Amino acid sequence: MARPAAGAPRPSAADVLAEAVRALAPEDGANRLVQRIAEGKAPRSVFATLALEQYQVLTADRISFQHLARRADGDPPVADFFDLLAQGETRALARLAGLADACGLTDREIAGYRPRPGCQAFPSYTARLALAAEPADAAIALTANSAFRGGRCAAVHRAMAEHYAFPDAARGFFALCAEPAPELAEAARAAVQQGIDTGQARPAAARRYGYLLRAYEVMF
């Protein structure tokens, strides 16, 4: 995106992110697996598969976020945002161990698991963004897409207790994902504002990226 002319009004980061969130709002019931879990209709075995797939997703996304942070080294607010995302993946991996234990998964099973292509579409596209997208645009797309993840994770977290009798330790991953993250939200606004102020952010392109992220996440 070209730099705005001197004196031309710039959109705020909050406005850009709000518009992206509106554009990417999912249809009700778009994620059928979450709906089935929330209703207690999914088999308990699905949680072992979720854990195995998430080990792959979190590990891949952490690498992508670290790469985006390095690419944004000259724009500290953007780099800081991706550093926080990478740290979040590390915390999520630690919480995921509780679910793996509750499902009886061994280290050998986790290491030898053959992931499903549809479940890995999201991190694969995130890796593409890490290589080719403007980091500020990736920040917009990832932030807008994640706006709806907390509600889905909260639904799974509740259902794991109500319908599947999982202990708290096994539900920790979904509890973490459902928690508000004010520090990350503030970092996202700062990253996007940096992109706007430097003329690097392209909100229309970011929304296209976000559309694909949303579609790939629903495939999980």
Q: Read off the tokens for 218.
A: 């629903």
Spatial contact of 170 and 54, defined as CB atoms under 8 Å apart:
no
The 10s digit of each residue's pLDDT in 75-91 is 999 999 999 999 999 99
Rounded Cα distance between 20 and 95, Å, is 30
Rounded Cα distance between 204 and 100, Å, is 39
Spatial contact of 1 and 198, defined as CB atoms under 8 Å apart:
no
Rounded Cα distance between 45 and 60, Å, is 24
Q: Read off the tokens for 86.
A: 């990478």
Q: Consecutive sets of 10 residues in the chain, 220 residues long: mean pLDDT of each?
A: 54 96 82 93 97 98 98 97 98 98 97 96 98 98 93 96 97 96 97 97 97 92
What is residue 9's predicted lDDT score, i.e. its pLDDT?
Answer: 74
What is residue 3's predicted lDDT score, i.e. its pLDDT?
Answer: 46
What is residue 164's predicted lDDT score, i.e. its pLDDT?
Answer: 98
What is residue 7's predicted lDDT score, i.e. its pLDDT?
Answer: 56
Spatial contact of 192 and 201, defined as CB atoms under 8 Å apart:
yes
Q: Characterize 175-206 residue by residue with b for buried, 16 or more Cβ atoms within 10 angstroms of its Cβ, and e for exposed.
A: bbbbeeeeebeebbbbbbbbbbbeebbbbebb
For 54-109, give the secondary structure using H, E and C. HHHHHHHHHHHHHHHHHHCCCCHHHHHHHHHHHHHHHHHHHHHHHHHHHCCCCHHH
Which has the closest alpha carbon to 53: 28, 33, 25, 26? Answer: 33
Other Cβ atoms less than 10 A from the Cβ of 5: the count is 6
Q: Read off the tokens for 192.
A: 């996007």
Domains and CATH numbers, the chain: 13-20+31-218 (1.20.910.10)
Looking at residue 148, the DSSP 8-state letter turns out to be T
